[in-house]
């Protein structure tokens, strides 16, 4: 999977990394109850044996859960930052009034207004 990060995402993650220099920071993309497949940035999270490494930036690994990986495998994607707190997420960036997002870089072949946003 080709995983990219926007400059805004890299800057946010660098800031959070600087605030937590001795902690292990991990982004998990999973099928959670609250944010579905939204990236969740966690401190000292124990990655599962079936979680798959997708990429890394600022010393922060990005993993997909075993359930989600087959759905996004081979899809070029980007992690970005958007304003808002999401739906009750406990991700580390939420207290800043922003949240991480994952979006496909593939262009939609469906009707206008549907499908992933191209980069």
In this model, does residue 116 exceed pLDDT 60?
no
Q: What is the average per-residue pLDDT within 22-34?
A: 83
Pair type for strands 60-64 and 52-57? antiparallel
Query: pTM to 2 decimals?
Result: 0.82
Class of the 3-104 domain? mainly beta
CA atoms of 106 and 23, how far apart (whole Å): 34
Query: Over the stretch 37-62, which tens digit does the pLDDT of each residue have?
Result: 789 999 999 999 999 999 999 999 99
b/e map 38-75, b = 16+ CB within 10 Å: bbbbbeebeeeeebbebbebbebbbbbbeebbeebeee
The better pLDDT of the pair 110, 38 is held by 38
CA atoms of 40 and 48, how far apart (whole Å): 15
Lowest mean pLDDT among 48-57, 83-92, 93-102: 83-92
Pair type for strands 25-29 and 60-64? parallel
Pure H helices in the chain: 7-19, 69-72
In this model, does residue 6 exceed pLDDT 90?
yes
């Amino acid at each position: 999977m080709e995983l990219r990060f926007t400059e805004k995402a890299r800057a946010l993650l660098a800031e959070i990394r600087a605030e937590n220099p001795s902690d292990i920071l991990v982004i998990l993309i999973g099928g959670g109850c609250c944010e579905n497949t939204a990236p969740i940035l966690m401190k000292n999270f124990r990655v599962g044996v079936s979680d798959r490494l997708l990429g890394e930036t600022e010393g922060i690994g990005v993993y997909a859960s075993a359930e989600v990986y087959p759905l996004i495998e081979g899809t070029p994607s980007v992690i970005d930052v958007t304003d808002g707190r999401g739906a009750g997420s406990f991700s580390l960036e939420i207290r800043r009034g922003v949240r991480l997002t994952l979006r496909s870089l593939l262009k939609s072949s469906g009707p206008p207004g549907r499908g992933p946003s191209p980069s």
